[in-house]
Structure 1
Amino acid sequence: MKIAFFSTQPYDVTFFNKENKQFGFELEYFETGLEEQTVGLVTEDTDVVCVFVNDKVDAEVIERLAEKKIKYIALRCAGFNNVDLDAAHKHNIRVCRVPAYSPEAVAEHTLAMLFTLNRKIHKAYNRVREQNFSLNGLLGTNIYKKTVGIIGTGNIGSVFCRMMKALGTEVLAYDVYPNKALEADGTVRYVELDELFTKSDIISLHCPLTPETLHIINEENIQKMKDGVMLINTSRGKLIDTHAIIQGLRNKKIGALGIDVYEQEEKVFFRDLSGTILEDERLQLLTSFPNVLVTAHQAFFTDEALTQIAFVTLDNLKQLSTTNEIVGRVAEL
């Protein structure tokens, strides 16, 4: 079986080559992302395309893939909002994903962003490097006994809920499918979104991007929040309306913002743009705020997570090619 990888980074090559020793597939890597202009890179002897979060696998791309007799689209991530599942189903192309590679990795990064913003560690680090040892402007607060609102309590969200509970916070949660185990052991109290927005000192997003969650953080909902609320997003960029969040920062409704994902990240993230002028004015503005912390979609980026992503992606394809079935890893309509 031949697999064409798109949006490939050096670490993808390292981890997939290592795990492929037990599978023996033929792997081909492309640095470019998959879109209508690059689908021509897929050769006629290819069986699978493997894509990441910012590849555009829309109806037009899938039609071209079908013409090339592609059998499978393998996502090396959990989300599949960038794939037109209707088109894939129409052309009998199976779509598989990695639903749970290392929820601890993302939850730990969320916690790191929370602590960094609260205690202003990023500012302190830069100060000390300039031999400025003043504490003025670095005042934080205790996380203990704060109210934390968590939107989405799936694999990652549930791990983060338990982390926050261990820190002595009150954890409010919202999910259309509540986690009964979290509720039963007293880790969280499920509430409606309005109550979560109005009562939380810290809000963290761990939900998938769907039509219902698109811009769940918008001007109307920001106005419901406490003054000075901390907001963290390590899920999907389009959960946040960027224009609304900038206004919230300007009027001090948002006290701190940590984002590992961004609405227009496909034009910026996973690239070295240090020698250029950043053309995305909204991202440029966000990075200019002293109370904003931006990381470039690295929450998943641990040795354990990359190992699991590579193994599960290849194992998905082995199972599909031999039995045509896998449990819990296929993106279905």
Structure 2
Amino acid sequence: MIWKIGFFEIEKDWEKNLYLKKFKETLKEKIEDTEIYFYEETLNENNVKRFRDLNIIIIHAESKINSTVVENLVDTKLLITRTTGTDHIDVLSCEKKGILVANCPVYASTTVAEHTVALMFALARKLKIAIDKNKKLDFSRDELMGIDLFGKTVGIIGTGRIGSEIARIVYGIGMKILATDVSPNNELVEKYKVKYVDLETLLKESDIIIVMVPYYSQTHHLINRENIKLVKEDAIFINTARGPIVDIEALIWALKNNKLQGGIAMDVFEGERVLMEFQNNLINGAFTAEEYERALKTLSLLNYSNIIFTPHIAYYTKEAMERVIDWVVENISRFLVCQVLPFQYKFYF
């Protein structure tokens, strides 16, 4: 059997070449039993019929694998996402169709944590405001008084792999750490003096609030119009997890009511897919009215000076990309040889 393998959202030649190199090294003579295709486009319900004969599909965050897509994947046995989150995949539909699903839970834990802490420093020292002023040849210190992070309280919402890495880093800075999680990590308590509290207490007492939980039905708008009222006036807020965990209307309310004056940084946000496709001139009417509305409300935050957006790049470093390539090749190679995956994957519903 010739296995047809399709990679989506692959734009860089170096990435294609490294995948092919790794496959040749790992599969050796078995490489002759594969046909490997690379596509720059996403996989979605508008184009899935063109790819229904693929046996193994590898996607990234912008591909939308809903039930309609799954129904049209006639020959697919394995679906891999090069992300930790799986909110863009209808995992249950895949399971019903007999399609194995794998996500990449470990490749960017330190990478995302470092980006998150970088955003924290940038807000604490008003770097965006300073850069914007300098572009206008304004070198005054107006609006640029920052804060020390040493001794401040950081609240981490979710202490999985990435949240744990953030705890390690901020402990070294000399920060106090609050956390909330459905499964507290006792190792973090012992090593970094993390204090587990409920969400309301964390929001009330934290100087810096970091969202780091996975996105699924129970975390949708975990931060909302009601609990945002608990935060300090000068608190800093950072989301590098998933956009819909935070209700964009809650952040707008907070800013209008003199909350979160320390600033907001988001690598992910509601309406993200709309804004990304708009940037790439790919808008095709595939979004709902609510998605367009959320995107416009997200854009309205740009009217505030101490707001930082990064375009979903917290995971994006040279080292992390090399790790994810190794991981994808390992999973595919094991599947081709043994029809099983090397790891058991856990998903949230």
Structure 1 length-normalised TM: 0.91
The equivalent residue for 2:296 is 281
Q: Which one-letter code corresponds to 1:180 in the other structure?
A: N
Closer, same or farther in 2 for the Cα pair 1:112/1:15, shift >3 Å? farther
Closer, same or farther in 2 for the Cα pair 1:20/1:224, shift >3 Å? same
Matched, 1:8 2:15: no
The equivalent residue for 2:305 is 290
* Shift in Å, 1:6: 2.0
3-state SS of the aligned residue for 1:123? Answer: helix
Report 1:30-179 matches (<5 A).
Answer: 30-42=39-51, 44=53, 46-65=54-73, 67=74, 69-179=75-185
Q: Distance in 2 between matches of 1:202 and 1:321?
A: 46
Q: Distance in 2 between matches of 1:187 and 1:98?
A: 29
Matched, 1:251 2:266: no
Contact 1:161 1:187 in 2 (8 A): no
* Shift in Å, 1:320: 2.2
Q: Distance in 2 between matches of 1:270 and 1:146?
A: 38
Structure 1, residues 103-139: CA drift from partner, whole Å, max 9, x if none?
A: 1111111111111111111221233344322111101
Contact 2:331 2:342 in 1 (8 A): no
Matched, 1:233 2:243: no
3-state SS of the aligned residue for 2:121? Answer: helix
Closer, same or farther in 2 for the Cα pair 1:331/1:88, shift >3 Å? farther
Q: Distance in 2 between matches of 1:254 and 1:15?
A: 43
* Shift in Å, 1:331: 4.7
* Shift in Å, 1:329: 5.0
For structure 1, which segment, 89-98 or 184-193, has the greater mean C-alpha deviation from structure 2 after superposition? 184-193
Closer, same or farther in 2 for the Cα pair 1:191/1:16, shift >3 Å? same
Q: Distance in 2 between matches of 1:332 and 1:263?
A: 22
Q: Distance in 2 between matches of 1:129 and 1:239?
A: 34
* Shift in Å, 1:289: 1.4
* Shift in Å, 1:324: 3.2
Structure 1, residues 166-207: CA drift from partner, whole Å, max 9, x if none?
A: 111110011112222111224311111111111111100111
Q: Distance in 1 between matches of 2:52 and 2:214?
A: 32
The equivalent residue for 1:261 is 268
Q: 2:330 aligns with which of 286, 310, 315?
A: 315
3-state SS of the aligned residue for 1:4? Answer: strand
Q: Distance in 1 between matches of 2:315 and 2:71?
A: 31
Q: How many residues align?
A: 327
Closer, same or farther in 2 for the Cα pair 1:18/1:134, shift >3 Å? farther
Unaligned runs of 5+ in 1: none
Q: Which one-letter code corresponds to 2:333 in the other structure?
A: K
Q: Which one-letter code corresponds to 1:283 in the other structure?
A: T
Q: Distance in 2 between matches of 1:158 and 1:270?
A: 32
* Shift in Å, 1:332: 5.4
Q: Distance in 2 between matches of 1:286 and 1:9?
A: 30
Give the number of the structure with larger relative contact order, counting CA–CA contacts within 8 Å between residues 6 or more apart: 1
Q: Which one-letter code corresponds to 1:156 in the other structure?
A: I
Closer, same or farther in 2 for the Cα pair 1:163/1:332, shift >3 Å? closer
Contact 1:76 1:313 in 2 (8 A): yes
Q: Distance in 1 between matches of 2:40 and 2:227?
A: 38
Q: Which one-letter code corresponds to 2:64 in the other structure?
A: K
Q: Which one-letter code corresponds to 1:41 in the other structure?
A: R
* Shift in Å, 1:41: 2.4
Unaligned runs of 5+ in 2: 284-291
Matched, 1:19 2:27: no
Give me the CA root mean square deviation: 2.1
3-state SS of the aligned residue for 1:253? Answer: coil
3-state SS of the aligned residue for 2:94? Answer: helix
Q: 1:306 aligns with which of 284, 296, 321?
A: 321
3-state SS of the aligned residue for 1:254? Answer: coil
